[in-house]
A and B are shown apart, each in its own frame.
Chain A
Amino acid sequence: MRIIPLKLLITLCTVFLLSGCWDTKDINHRSLPIVMGVAMEDDQYNIHLQIPDPDTDVMQVRIVSETGETVSQAVDKLSANMESRIDLLHVKVIVIEKELAKEGVKDLISGFMRAREVSPKALVVVSDEKIEPFFSNLNNTTDPQGTTLFDFFDKDAGWSPQIALTRVWELYRSIHSTTRDVVLPIIKSGDSTVIQHLGSAVIKNGRMVERIDPEETLLVNAFYEESTHGKVEVMEEATVLIVGNTMDHKSRNIDQVPYLNSQLHLKVVLLETIGKPTDKEIRTALETQLTNRFNEMFSKIQESKADVLGLGQYFRAKIPSEELKKWRSEHYPKLKMEFEVHAVIRNEGQIKLGAD
């Protein structure tokens, strides 16, 4: 009998504790931005947030902006000025202005990783134009849900294989890695489409050092075995569609000179032909086209000493880890790269090759 009041007390306590209603703000008192734009102006961060505002009937998209010494300060100021609390939990895309990317985003990204408020899965994008016009154009043309930018990079929606996909945690990893850099997609607001994809920014140690075009980004994606399915390749003889890709790498280190042999195996199907090329001609044309493009890109990124392909990874067992710390500055510029493409035409479509 003695135990019953105690039981009651404990039950009551758990009711209060387990409800989890501690300092919570209801969902209607929260603003959940999905896109965040970051720029640097006179040593101050300039933050733009795109916030979907669910009204009773229609969804409206709101753009708010603020400046501050740090991102958190700017967000805090915004929160204070708004009628609801800003919660960065659902930010899906972070747009960084090109100027800031060139200056370096090390502290910005570390801040995101430390505070854990922004998901490490958010995508990082570089904007080619000023952040202000970018957001106002985005708002003018955007769909009522305000998810255009997110859909653009979603693999299940508008993503294409020549667009780089890099998340906050990958960027953070590249900043602290000795053997790996990343590419970030560069976009600007377009004329007929909302967004125009311009290629990729090569980020080395958190700083933009070079840019590559969309075709070259495709090869970077192929290198990471990101699916390149659905990419159309146009050559003089024919147009093909890539339907499968795999990579093989062989690394050697001879007399302090690293050698890497990489083989890209492509499966393609034929879309259009010009004249009457043979199977072999098409394959050779594709192989030379891609190999030349790769060599051109590689000499560019090798010159900027940015290892966006993560080639140093293949030498982890060949070069001692103390030496590997100097990978970017000493070994990578000496790297001899052999890139081979092996294409297989899986089918020729409904019409036999050479029939028309």
Chain B
Amino acid sequence: MDKSLHVVLMYLLVHLGLIFFLYPNDIISSSDEGQWMPIAIGLLFHFVLVWIYMKGLSFFPKQNIIHIYSEMGKGFATFFLLPVFMYLMLVNVIGVRAYSEIITIIFLSNTPSWAIIILFLSISGYLAAKGLEVIFRTGILLALIFIPIIFFVLIATFQNVDWNYLLPLIDDDFHFMTTPSYMKSFSAFIGGFLFLGFIAPYLTYNRKKVLMAATLLIPFFVFAVYIPILTFGHGTASRFLFPYIMAVDSTYINWLMFDRVTMFFILSLVTFIMLHLSLLLWMAYQIMNHWFPHQPLYSILSFTIVTFITSIMIIDWKAVERLLWWNSFLQFYVLLTIPLSIYFIGRRRKGRA
């Protein structure tokens, strides 16, 4: 059944959740001027990898990547799926920990982080245990309710923009390529499309529409970085941990009865993140289920407990940053090998047929 709308909306939500928190700071601290260049390179990666991934998957209609790898042999499947599994679990732990810390930094300053972690894990675990259909239908609901808010806030943040900060446009050296923060920024560029390979037998989609969704994301990728820069200038924006949130905080909307639109914005994004987490848990379950067939509830319960314990053990924000840095290597490995291997397996099989 063609469920392009579900997939497209999920694609948008997952990426929106990734774009607005950590990514602006990563890009801003990676380059002093001409930030469009790192963004453009990141987007290029995003498009090329998504295209290769979807092209590769299109050789195997109604099969997900687990089926594809296991057809090639048991050792082969383990070789590719084990890093994916590790990556999913690591992203889950980091995601839960980082976003719970973000919430305490931004607004719930008195709440202990374990309570926020439980909230994150219980909701996303519940969604994941219910299966793919439920996750995607929740996605539609969240998109309908919250995307207008995101849009409104995005337009409102143009209020304090000073276009002179756009200049100078060109940064003549490419030193940003080697900075750790640019590596970390790739979690927004390539961290969100892995799910396309897992949903195959349940949901099918039109490749063009997903690419269109990716195109729709370009302004978000650009503005999340440029609005803080145009509002504060690079010198000041680079001092903030969450530059975009700061820019939202400094917009003054006279006629709105709510004083801090930031709250609506952040809470909308948090729901997107919960959705992403549930998708990660579900994918991890799929891989686990392939090795040891079982009920979703058992593995998801144990995943959430493991995630809970590990994320409690991470004590401070510095540790989160270090984990994000380590994770970027695994992420590069996984998100380069999976699309490319799927593509080549597909090409080979087509050649043989």
Contact = CB atoms under 8 A, between A and B. Distances in A.
Given A316-B165, A316-B167, 6 more contacts: A17-B115, A22-B108, A22-B115, A169-B246, A169-B250, A310-B162
26 contacts: A3-B297, A6-B297, A13-B118, A17-B118, A17-B122, A22-B108, A22-B111, A120-B246, A120-B250, A155-B254, A169-B232, A169-B246, A169-B249, A176-B233, A177-B236, A178-B235, A310-B162, A310-B164, A313-B164, A313-B165, A316-B165, A316-B168, A317-B167, A317-B169, A321-B32, A321-B168
A121 B236 contact: no
A116 B232 contact: no
A90 interface: yes
B115 A119 contact: no
A308 B164 CA distance: 15
Nearest to B235: A176
A156 B115 contact: no
A167 interface: yes
A167 B164 contact: no
Contacts of B118: 13, 17
B250 A167 contact: yes
Interface string A176-216: 11111000000000000000000000000000000000000
A50 B253 CA distance: 24
A120 B168 contact: no
Nearest to A172: B236
Interface string A76-100: 0000000000000010000000000
Interface of B: 32-33, 105-106, 108, 110-111, 115, 118-119, 122-123, 126, 162, 164-165, 167-169, 232-233, 235-236, 239, 246, 249-252, 254, 259-260, 297
B246 A177 contact: no
B259 A90 contact: yes
Nearest to A165: B252
Given A23-B111, A176-B236, A313-B162, A14 B123 contact: yes
Interface in A86-136: 90, 116, 119-121
Nearest to A224: B162
A339 interface: no
Tell which of B108, B235, B254 has the most Cβ of chain A within 10 Å: B235
Contact of A116 (B32, B106, B252): B106
Interface string A146-181: 000000000110000000000101001100111110
Given A172-B236, A316-B167, A167 B252 contact: yes
A316 B239 CA distance: 20
A23 B110 contact: yes
B246 A119 contact: no
A320 B173 CA distance: 14
Contacts of A3: 297
A259 interface: no
Interface string A1-35: 00100100010011001100011000000000000
Contact of A120 (B106, B119, B249): B249
A18 B115 CA distance: 11
B232 A119 contact: no
Given A313-B162, A316-B168, A13 B122 contact: yes
A320 B259 CA distance: 39
Contacts of B233: 173, 176-177, 179-180
A173 B118 CA distance: 37
Nearest to A11: B126
Given A120-B250, A121-B252, A176 B239 contact: yes
Contacts of B126: 10
Contact of A17 (B119, B164, B246): B119
A90 B260 CA distance: 10
A179 B233 CA distance: 10
